[in-house]
Chain A
Amino acid sequence: MSIELEEIAEFLKQHHPFDLLPDDVIESLPKRLTARYFRAGTKVLSPEQQCLHLYIIRTGGTETRDPNGQLLARLSEGECFGVRAMFRKGRAANNITTLEDSLCYLLPEKDFHDLAGKYPQFNYFFAQMGGDRLRRGMQMIESRDDDQLKLMSVKVADLIARDLVSIDRSATILDAGKLMCDERVSCLLITQDGDEIAGIITDRDLRNRVIAQARSFDEPVTAIMTDKPISIHPDDYAFDALLTMTRNNIRHLPVLKDGKAVGMITTNNLLARQSLSAVYMAGKISKLNDPADMAKVIAQVPELLSHLIEAGATSQNAGHIVTTLSDAATVRLLQLAEKKLGPPPVPYVWMAGGSQGRQEQTAISDQDNCLILDDAYVEEAHGAYFKALAEFVCDGLNDVGYVFCPGDMMAKTAEWRQPAKVWQNYFNKWIEQPEPKALMLCSVWFDLRPIHGTKSLFDDLHRIIVSRAKDNRIFQAYLVGNAMTHHVPLGFFKNFVMIRGGEHDSTLDLKHNGVVPIVDLARIHALANGVDEVNTFDRLRAVKAFPSISTQGASDLLDAFEFISITRLKHQVRQIRQGHAPDNFLHPESLSAFERTHLKDAFSVIKNLQSALETAFGKSGT
C-alpha cells in the first residue's frame, strides 16, 4: 500500500467506529474510497436527494439540519454524515452544509452495508447514531401530547444542575482529588487565567492515569488532564448533548459560553430527568396499602418504558429502572405482611431470582422469588407464619401485575421457603450431582439478589455458590448442555427460522431464542470464573478478563445482547403504543432490512459463542 493510502488507513483507525474493524479490513478500505472537496457553505446533501455514499469528514466540518431547519448536529474531522441515507435506500434525510472547507472520503453504500453486515459493533454504532437516535428524536418532536422530557426542546442550560467545580491549573493531583471528594463530584474542570478552560479530569482519569500508573499525587494536575475537552453551548439542545456524549463515548460535557465555563452536564443529568418519574412511582408505591392501588402504578410501567427507550436509554438502564419498581412493590408488600402478621419469629431474607434478580425486567415479567430463613427456623413453630407471609406477597405481586411463575419458582411453594442450611444442601446437590432437568428449572436460583430482610443470610450461601460452581467442571458441563437447548433462530444459510403455525405464526421468539441464550452464556462464564455479578451486562463485562471467553467474544455478546434486548423493548413499546399487550414475538418484516441484517448478526454471535463454549467446557450430558 502506498504511503498516502496507509495514511488514510491510519486516519480511519483513529476514528470510531472504524477503529472497531480488524486491521486488514481497514487497510482494504482506502481503495474503495473517493475523495471530494467542498468549500465552506456548500450544501452537500438536502432531504430526499440521492446519496449513495457514507461521507467521512477528513478535514473541515459540517452542520446537519432537519428539513425544518432545526440544528441536529455539528460534525468535524473523523465523523460521518449521510448515515441516515444508508438506512433509507440512498435518500438523504437532512440538510448537510459545510461550515469550513472540507475534504471528505466517500464510502460507497454497498461497502457500508457489507461492513455493517459483517461487523456488529460497526453496525451498532451507526444504528444508534443515524438510524435510531435521530429517528427517536424526530418521534419525540411529533408526539405533542407527551409532557415527559423532550430532549429536543430542553436547552442544555436547563440541565445544569449545580455550580461548576473547578480548580486552577497550578494545583496538584492531590488538591484536585481532595476538591472532588469535598464537593462530591466525579469530574473537575481545570482553569487558567480565571474562567478560561485548560482541561478536564474525571474519576476515570484518577484511576487510569494516577493510580494505575503509580503517579505521584504531587505532580501538577495538568499532567493527567484531558486538554481542551469537547464542550457544548448552553443554548444547544439536550439532544445535542446526548448525541455528543454518545458519539465521543464521554460521560461529562462542559458547558461553555463565550469561551468561559458555565456548567457541566453528565449522562446522569440527562437520564435523571427520565428516571425522575420512576423514582416518583417507586415513592408512591412505598406509601400504598392495597395491591389494587399498586397495580395502578405498575400499570404505567409500559408507558415509562416507552419514554425511557425514546429518550435513548440502553436496555440495561431500562431494565434497572423497571426492576426498581417491582423491587419497590415487593418491599412494600413485605412491610404490609409484617404489619398484618406481626414481626417475623426468625430473621429472613426475601430473594428475587430470574429477570428481577438480574435487574432485566421488561414490560412483561412474571415473578421468581424465594425465602431464605435463619437456621433457627423450626417448621412446627414458624412454618405457618412464613407460609402466610409468602402467600400474602406472592398473591399481592400477582394482583399488582407480576403473574405467578409457571414453574412455581416462588416463595409460596414450600420447597423454596427454607432455612439457609437447606438452601446450602440444594446448591450442593445441584453443583455436586447435577441433573440436567433439575438444573434447567433452577437456573433462576443462580441469579439471586436479596430484596428485603436480613441480607446477611444470603452471604454464606452466595459464597458457596460462587466458590463451588467455579471449581466443578461437571456442573459447568451440565450448564453448557442446558444452554445449548436454546437454539438461535438461524438456518444454515443465515436465514431466520421462524415459529410455524399457532398463535405466533411466522415470528421470532426474542426472549427464548435471543435473550435467554445470552443470559445463559453470561451465567456460565460468570459461575465458572467465580464472578459474583448477576446482571448479564455486568457478568459479560466482568468475564472479559478471564480466559474462558475471548475479550472480543465478550464484547460481541454485549453488543448482541444490547441489540436484541433493545429490539425486544422497542417491539414491546410499539405494541403498547398500538394498544396491544406486549409480548416477545417479533415479525421480522416489521424491521428494516438493515435491522434484520443486524439481528441475524446478533444471532450468529450467539451461535458462535455457544460453539466456543462447548469447546471450552466440553460436551455435556456424556
Chain B
Amino acid sequence: MGLRQKITDSQFYRDLVQRRATGALRTYYDVPAADPTRPIMDTEFIALDLETTGLDPKRDEIVSLGWVIIRQLGVDFSSCEHILVRPTKELTESSVVVHRIFDSDVANAPNIKAALELLLPQMAGRVLISHHAPIELGFLGHACKRCFGAPLQIPTVDTLVLGLRDLHRQGQPFKSGALKLDNLRRSHNLPPFRAHNALSDAIAASGLFLAQVSKRDPKGVLELRRVLR
C-alpha cells in the first residue's frame, strides 16, 4: 500500500492520468490540487460518503452519494447534497436490506456518469474527507475510469486514520470498535448521530474532522500535509 499510494498521490501520476481524462473529469483536473503546505484553515474540504451494492469496487456499484463542504474549518450545511444513483444492474436483496434504497427509488435517479458530473466540480481544488477512505476512493476511481477514461486523484484525509494515530499516540490498548465513526465522535464530545444515509455519514465525518483538527491545531496554523493520509 505504502509505495503504491506514494505513486498515486504524486504530481507525476496526476499529470499522467490527467491527459487521458475526458468530460467532467478533465474539467476537474484543470483546477490545481489543494496545496499540501497551506494551512488547514485556508483549505476547503469535501466530506463525502457513498453507499454501494457491495464492497468490491470492480463488481459492485454506487447507489447514493452524500457530501458537505467545509470552509475555514466550518461545516457549511447549505452545501449539503444527497443524490441517489441508478445502478446498471438490479439491486440485490442484501444491498436493499443495508441501505433501504429500493429499485423504485432509483428508477428515475441519474446514472453514475450524471452523478459524477454533479460531484466532480464540487471536488475540484478541494480535499476529500472520508471515514475509511479506500472505499470511497476505490469506487469513485473505478467509476471515473469507466465514465471518463482515467482514475481519480484527490488529496485525502481519512478520519479513521487520524483516529488511529490519536489512539496510537495515547499508547493505550483500544477496544474493538473504538475506530467506528460514532465511537470516535463520542470521544470528542460530539453528539450521537443517527445513521444511515450517505449524507448523514458525510456530515458525521466532517464533525469528527473538525474535532481532530482542533486537537492538533489550536492556533489554526497547521499545514494540510500533516493530516493527509
Contact = CB atoms under 8 A, between A and B. Distances in A.
Interface of A: 2-5, 7-8, 11, 30-39, 42, 58-60, 100-103, 106
A37 B211 contact: yes
Contact of A35 (B189, B207, B213): B207
Most buried by A among B189, B197, B210, B213: B189
Contact of A7 (B193, B196, B210): B193
Contact of B210 (A31, A35, A42, A106): A35
A2 B200 contact: yes
Interface string B212-225: 01110010000000
A4 B199 CA distance: 7
Contacts of A8: 77
Interface string B187-201: 011110111110110
A103 B97 CA distance: 33
B80 A2 contact: yes
A310 B149 CA distance: 72
Interface residues of B, number: 30
Given A3-B195, A4-B193, A106-B74, 15 more contacts: A4-B203, A4-B204, A5-B77, A7-B193, A30-B77, A34-B75, A35-B210, A36-B75, A39-B211, A39-B215, A39-B218, A42-B214, A101-B189, A101-B211, A103-B189
A58 B210 contact: no
Contacts of A37: 73, 188, 190, 207, 210-211, 213-214
Nearest to A101: B189
Interface of B: 66, 73-78, 80, 82, 188-191, 193-197, 199-200, 203-204, 206-207, 210-211, 213-215, 218
A303 B196 CA distance: 61
B210 A33 contact: no
Nearest to B189: A101
The 4 closest A-B pairs by CB, nearest first: A37-B210, A35-B75, A4-B200, A101-B189
Contacts of A38: 214
A102 to B, nearest CB: 7
16 contacts: A2-B200, A3-B195, A3-B199, A3-B200, A4-B80, A31-B78, A37-B188, A37-B210, A37-B211, A39-B215, A58-B191, A101-B189, A101-B214, A103-B207, A103-B210, A103-B211
Contacts of B191: 11, 58-59, 103
B199 A35 contact: no
A3 B78 contact: no
Nearest to A38: B214
Most buried by A among B66, B196, B203, B215: B203
B189 A33 contact: no
Nearest to A60: B189
